[in-house]
Structure 1
Amino acid sequence: MRDSNLPGTELLKTVLEPLLEDFQYWFARSRDFLESEQISFMSEQEQSDLLLRVKHAQNELNTAKMLFTATDEQVGIDMATIMPWHQLVAECWNVSMRFHQAREV
């Protein structure tokens, strides 16, 4: 008889693992950007706050990845956790796009 948990496990690995890797990539890029650039349209405090939120999200992500790995990829992540990460990445993309557009002018 086939293991009924296998499809769900494979789905988690197929979907969640690359998603976590994407978040890891974009948070690292955002952090590098915020640490290395002076963003003229943001106050120092706003830039510092955004950087702090990225660092916090990276810590949450690292914890989620450790749990995912420690449970042999048997555990998912609640959308209530993922959605703020998605919104933060989108916010960082917007800041980066605006920064690069301002440099082109």
Structure 2
Amino acid sequence: MSDSNLPGTELLKTVLEPLLEDFQHWFTRSRHLLETEQLSFMSDQEQSDLLLRVKQAQEELSTAKMLFAATDKQVGIDMATLMPWHQLVTECWNVAMRFRQEREV
């Protein structure tokens, strides 16, 4: 009967593991941008608030990755946790895109 869990475990490894790595990648890039650049289209407070949210998401992500690893990649993550990360990454992409566009002008 334990083999019935195998497809679910493999699915988690195949889908969730790369997703968590992607979140880590984009949060790291976003944090670097927010810490090293002054974004003219954002107030200092807006930039600071976004940076704080990215740092918080990185801490949450780190915890989720530790739990995922500690359970031998057999536990999922609730969509209620993933969706705010996805929304934050999208917001950061928009900020980065605007930053690049303004640098080109």
Coarse TM-score class (shorter-chain normalised): over 0.9
SS of residue matched to 2:3: coil
Q: What TM-score do the two structures reach when normalised by structure 1?
A: 0.97
Instruction: Report what 2:7 is aligned to.
Output: 7
Q: What TM-score do the two structures reach when normalised by structure 2?
A: 0.97
Instruction: Report what 2:50 is aligned to.
Output: 50
Provide structure 2 residue ranges, at least 5 long, that are not aligned to the other structure: none
Shift, 1:2, TM fit: 7.0
Instruction: Report what 2:103 is aligned to.
Output: 103
Deviations 1:22-66 (A, max 9, x none): 000000000000000000010000000000000000000000000
* Identical pairs, percent: 83
Distance across 1 between alignment mates of 2:100 and 2:24: 22
Instruction: Report what 2:29 is aligned to.
Output: 29
Distance across 2 between alignment mates of 1:3 and 1:92: 41
* 4+ runs deviating over 6 angstroms: none
Aligned length: 105
